């Protein structure tokens, strides 16, 4: 059963269409990530799910009920904001139980719930602190605790990790994912960071300019992107896209050449950096830069003014300016047509 | 550059401001204090040291107590009302409503007018029979009133005018205060089912407390400082019903030419304002507590 079902959802501001005819479902107890660059409408979709933003067209179902016109507090959702939205004059405990007080939950039950939630996120010692005296990670935990005590089955998160440093971000990623599994929450999570999406999501909804580009599990989108946009947005460094008119096609390996030559609709070919290897024959390249990361080395190569990346787990003896050849397996190559859509070979 | 040269330069830069401050603030304050300790000089009697006599007569002067109580009523009548109205106006113009810029300007206009101009406008409102208020009352069949001529309505009339004049200024402070509150707080509260009313009392009002404190103290100081309108409207009358401390000082000094007594009154007012200013320093330090 799906916890959330969105049909033909649109939102326009005057002449600007922020979200265009978007439909998707979020399975119960799953972790769904709305992923896309800034301005793709992901936060607008989340706000429409929460009820804080009006819907222009379309319907939203949460838990089997049509909530399109239902006010925010009656939708059965909780939300974690980018800035955490903690009340600065209230201490941690008051912040966590704010909603419980509004809903007039008896004091005894409130105490119990706050204590439980604080325990879950590891804040039991800090209940008397004001938000100003907490670290970024602790504030994040207060926001999570507030969401937990609300007892809603659906939790919406709007770039919750973007204000944390990278080490803390990695920690909180695991923690949020763990929390979601333990509490059986349905999470809709907005981010522009593909690493967060890849490492946390059960399902990624990739958006661009208010429209859905691709929906699927992380590995599905990584292994079979349906377009140049999908291919390049997921993966770091992104997939190399080589325009056939800009490269020396005749230097390609014969098998690859015949595959490319057989279809006149092909405009670009795409190869992931880890699938490109140095070889005796193939595309002639010059080494432009070398980034050494320890576990891997990323080479930036140029072929006829066109830059692309090669990722190599070992540390080959190659220097800047070296002239080499690269190639790849036929199976690791993606083909795209003139509309940047994937061609199934 | 040598330290001594730097010091001299520093003092030179400081001198113009120091001269102005000394000549027009510190020196007059000190002479006023000494004048309050001496009797007035006249042709018949030379000046003599009288100690705290002027202060004693101040505390036994029924008019002094009357103007002091008037001033307190003015403070009590204007401050809570103008703060309430200022918050309400700030909440309205903080919303994304059409004509917001115009409304903000309209609310702020009374503040930009000089007090004398305000008094002239309200003189027309309050004028008996031909005034705006009496005209409107007449339409609904009510009896008019000589608002400024009646001892029981004159102070309330001045209170109403002061609120009208001051609320716009306080609104600007509240508007600034409101704009420092993240809109995400309202969204978070809304999602928890908090009503507009509950959000105001539980979140907005407490977060505006530093602003309120600032406004409170300024409004209190203003209620002693603003007397320009009395020159136009009532001259403190009738029977001192609208007289205020500062205006009484002016009258004592320049109409009754009792410099000694006026000096004592001035020192009293200065002490009162200084205490308030100190309180402001003391309380406003606690602002940091929210950040």
Give the rounded percent of residues in chain B with a pLDDT score beyond 70: 97
Q: What confidence category does residue A214 fall into, taking pLDDT thresholds of 50, 70 and 90?
A: very high
On chain A, the residues whose CB falls within 8 A of the CB of B291 are: 88, 132
Give the rounded percent of residues in chain B with a pLDDT score beyond 90: 25
Which of A78, A87, A102 faces B185 most closely, judged by CB atoms? A87
On chain A, the residues whose CB falls within 8 A of the CB of B182 are: 83, 85
Q: In whole angstroms, give the CA distance from residue A142 to residue A172.
A: 13
| A342-343 vs A333-336, strand pairing mode | antiparallel
Interface of B with A in 153-192 (CB under 8 A): 182, 184-185, 187-192
The answer to whether the CB atoms of B193 and A79 lie below 8 A apart is no
Residue A18 distance to chain B (closest CA, Å): 20
Residue B246 has a CB neighbour count (10 Å cut-off) of: 19
Q: What is the DSSP string of B95-124?
A: S--TTHHHHHHHHHHHHHS-HHHHHHHHHH
A132 in contact with B at a CB cutoff of 8 Å? Answer: yes
Two tokens, residue A142? 């207060």
Residue A211 distance to chain B (closest CA, Å): 25
Two tokens, residue A172? 């909180």
The answer to whether the CB atoms of B290 and A77 lie below 8 A apart is no
Q: What confidence category does residue B244 fall into, taking pLDDT thresholds of 50, 70 and 90?
A: confident
Residue A48 distance to chain B (closest CA, Å): 12
On chain B, the residues whose CB falls within 8 A of the CB of A132 are: 290-291
A54 in contact with B at a CB cutoff of 8 Å? Answer: no
Q: In whole angstroms, give the CA distance from residue A193 to residue A203.
A: 15
Rounded mean pLDDT, B161-181:
90
Mean of the per-residue pLDDT values of chain B: 85
Indicate the helix (H) or strand (E) that contains B153. Answer: helix B151-179
A103 in contact with B at a CB cutoff of 8 Å? Answer: yes
Q: What confidence category does residue B1 fall into, taking pLDDT thresholds of 50, 70 and 90?
A: low
The answer to whether the CB atoms of B192 and A51 lie below 8 A apart is no
Q: What confidence category does residue A21 fall into, taking pLDDT thresholds of 50, 70 and 90?
A: very high
Nearest CA in chain B to A150: B192
pLDDT tops 80 at residue A310 = yes
Look at residue B203 and give its three-state secondary structure: helix
Which of B188, B192, B206 faces A89 most closely, judged by CB atoms? B206
pLDDT tops 90 at residue A208 = yes
The answer to whether the CB atoms of A73 and B182 lie below 8 A apart is no
The confidence score (pLDDT) of residue B288 equals 46
The confidence score (pLDDT) of residue B285 equals 60
Q: What confidence category does residue A173 fall into, taking pLDDT thresholds of 50, 70 and 90?
A: very high
The confidence score (pLDDT) of residue A230 equals 94
Q: In whole angstroms, give the CA distance from residue B1 to residue B226.
A: 49
The confidence score (pLDDT) of residue B50 equals 82
Q: In whole angstroms, give the CA distance from residue A46 to residue A187.
A: 11
Mean of the per-residue pLDDT values of chain A: 90
pLDDT tops 80 at residue B284 = no
Residue B97 distance to chain A (closest CA, Å): 16
Q: Which of A43, A47, A77, A87 to mutate to test the interface with B (most CBs of B within 10 A)?
A: A87
Rounded mean pLDDT, B167-171:
90
Which of B193, B206, B291 faces A99 most closely, judged by CB atoms? B193
Say whether the peptide bond before residue A237 is cis (omega within 30 degrees of 0).
yes
Q: In whole angstroms, give the CA distance from residue A148 to residue A138.
A: 15
Q: Are A60 and A26 in contact (CB under 8 A)?
A: no
Query: Tokens 């859905």 label which residue?
Result: A212
Which of B192, B194, B207 faces A150 most closely, judged by CB atoms? B192
Which of B188, B207, B291 faces A85 most closely, judged by CB atoms? B188
A89 in contact with B at a CB cutoff of 8 Å? Answer: yes
Residue B188 distance to chain A (closest CA, Å): 6
DSSP B38: B
> Which are the contacts of A52, defined by CB distance < 8 A and separation ≥ 6?
A72, B187, B190, B191
Q: Which of B188, B190, B205, B287 to mutate to test the interface with A (most CBs of A within 10 A)?
A: B188
Q: Are B128 and B144 in contact (CB under 8 A)?
A: yes
- Nearest Cα neighbor of A131 from A85, A185, A171 is A85
On chain A, the residues whose CB falls within 8 A of the CB of B290 are: 88-89, 132
pLDDT tops 60 at residue B291 = no
Q: What confidence category does residue A260 fall into, taking pLDDT thresholds of 50, 70 and 90?
A: confident
Rounded mean pLDDT, B223-252:
84
pLDDT tops 80 at residue B289 = no
Which of B190, B207, B290 faces A52 most closely, judged by CB atoms? B190
Look at residue A268 and give its three-state secondary structure: strand
The answer to whether the CB atoms of A87 and B191 lie below 8 A apart is no
Helices (H), chain A: 42-50, 92-96, 98-102, 107-121, 136-149, 166-183, 194-200, 218-223, 228-233, 254-261
Beta bridge partners, A158, equal A190
The confidence score (pLDDT) of residue A248 equals 86
* End-to-end CA, chain A: 35
Rounded mean pLDDT, A29-49:
93
Rounded mean pLDDT, A73-84:
90
Rounded mean pLDDT, B39-62:
82
Which of A78, A82, A83 faces B191 most closely, judged by CB atoms? A78
Q: In whole angstroms, give the CA distance from residue B32 to residue B37.
A: 9
Give the rounded percent of residues in chain A with a pLDDT score beyond 70: 99
Q: In whole angstroms, give the CA distance from residue A227 to residue A340.
A: 6
B205 in contact with A at a CB cutoff of 8 Å? Answer: no
Angle between helices B209-225 and B151-179 (to 10 degrees): 150
Q: Which residue has the higher pLDDT, B249 or B42?
A: B249
On chain B, the residues whose CB falls within 8 A of the CB of A99 are: 191-194
Q: Which residue has the higher pLDDT, A211 or B242?
A: A211
Domains of chain B in sequence order: 56-290 (1.10.3720.10)
The answer to whether the CB atoms of B187 and A79 lie below 8 A apart is yes
Q: In whole angstroms, give the CA distance from residue B44 to residue A148.
A: 88
> Which are the contacts of A254, defined by CB distance < 8 A and separation ≥ 6?
none
pLDDT tens, residue by residue, B54-103: 888 888 888 889 899 999 999 999 999 999 999 999 998 888 788 888 88
The answer to whether the CB atoms of B290 and A89 lie below 8 A apart is yes
pLDDT tops 70 at residue A26 = yes
In this prediction the pTM is 0.80
Q: Which residue has the higher pLDDT, B176 or B151?
A: B176
- Nearest Cα neighbor of A72 from B179, B195, B183, B204 is B195
Look at residue A318 and give its three-state secondary structure: coil
Which of A73, A74, A132 faces B291 most closely, judged by CB atoms? A132
């Amino acid at each position: 059963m799906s916890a959330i079902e969105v049909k033909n959802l649109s939102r326009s501001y005057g002449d600007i269409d922020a979200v265009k005819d978007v439909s998707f479902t979020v399975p119960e107890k799953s972790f769904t990530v709305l992923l896309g660059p800034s301005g793709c409408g992901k936060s607008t979709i989340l706000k429409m799910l929460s009820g804080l933003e009006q819907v222009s067209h379309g319907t939203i179902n949460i838990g089997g009920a049509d909530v399109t016109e239902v006010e925010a507090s009656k939708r059965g959702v909780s939300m974690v904001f980018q800035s955490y939205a903690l009340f600065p004059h209230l201490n941690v405990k008051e912040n966590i139980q704010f909603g419980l007080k509004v809903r007039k939950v008896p004091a005894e039950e409130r105490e119990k719930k706050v204590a439980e939630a604080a325990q879950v996120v590891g804040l039991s010692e800090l209940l008397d602190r004001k938000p100003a005296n907490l670290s970024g990670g602790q504030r994040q935990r207060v926001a999570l605790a507030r969401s937990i005590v609300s007892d809603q089955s659906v939790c919406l998160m709007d770039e919750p990790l973007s204000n944390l440093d990278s080490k803390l971000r990695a920690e909180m990623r695991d923690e949020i994912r763990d929390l979601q599994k333990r509490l059986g929450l349905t999470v809709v999570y907005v981010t522009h960071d593909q690493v967060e999406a890849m490492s946390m999501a059960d399902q990624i909804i990739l958006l661009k300019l208010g429209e859905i580009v691709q929906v699927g599990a992380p590995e599905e989108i990584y292994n079979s992107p349906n377009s140049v946009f999908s291919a390049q947005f997921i993966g770091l460094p992104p997939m190399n896209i080589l325009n056939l008119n800009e490269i020396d096609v005749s230097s390609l390996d014969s098998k690859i050449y015949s595959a490319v030559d057989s279809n006149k609709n092909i405009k670009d070919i795409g190869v992931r950096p880890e699938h490109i290897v140095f070889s005796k024959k193939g595309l002639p390249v010059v080494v432009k830069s070398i980034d050494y990361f320890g576990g891997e080395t990323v080479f930036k190569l140029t072929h006829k003014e066109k830059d692309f990346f090669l990722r190599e787990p070992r540390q080959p003896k190659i220097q800047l300016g070296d002239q080499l050849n690269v190639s790849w397996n036929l199976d690791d190559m993606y083909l795209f047509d003139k509309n940047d859509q994937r061609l199934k070979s | 550059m040598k330290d001594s040269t730097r010091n001299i330069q520093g003092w030179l830069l400081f001198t113009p401001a120091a001269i102005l401050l000394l000549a027009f603030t510190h020196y007059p304050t000190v002479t006023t204090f000494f004048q309050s300790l001496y009797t007035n000089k006249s042709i018949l009697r030379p000046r003599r040291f009288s100690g705290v006599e002027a202060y004693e007569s101040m505390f036994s002067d029924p008019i002094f107590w009357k103007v002091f109580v008037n001033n307190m009523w003015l403070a009590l009548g204007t401050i809570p009302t103008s703060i309430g109205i200022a918050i309400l106006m700030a909440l309205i113009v903080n919303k994304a409503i059409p004509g917001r810029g115009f409304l903000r300007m309209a609310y702020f206009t009374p503040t930009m007018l000089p007090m004398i101009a305000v008094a002239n406008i309200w003189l027309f409102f309050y004028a008996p029979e031909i005034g705006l208020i009496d005209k409107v009352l007449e339409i609904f069949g009510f009896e008019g009133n000589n608002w400024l001529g009646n001892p029981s309505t004159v102070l309330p009339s001045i209170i109403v005018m002061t609120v009208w004049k001051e609320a716009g200024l306080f609104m600007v402070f509240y508007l600034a205060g409101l704009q420092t509150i993240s809109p995400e707080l309202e969204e978070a509260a809304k999602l928890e089912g908090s009503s507009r009313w509950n959000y105001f009392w539980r979140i907005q009002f407490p977060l505006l407390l530093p602003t309120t404190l600032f406004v409170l103290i300024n409004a209190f100081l203003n209620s002693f400082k603003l007397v320009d309108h009395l020159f136009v409207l009532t001259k403190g009358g009738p029977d001192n019903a609208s007289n205020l401390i500062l205006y009484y000082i002016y009258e004592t000094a320049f109409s009754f030419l009792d410099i000694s007594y006026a000096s004592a009154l001035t020192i009293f007012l200065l002490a009162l304002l200084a205490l308030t200013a100190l309180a402001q320093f003391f309380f406003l330090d606690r602002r940091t507590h929210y950040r």
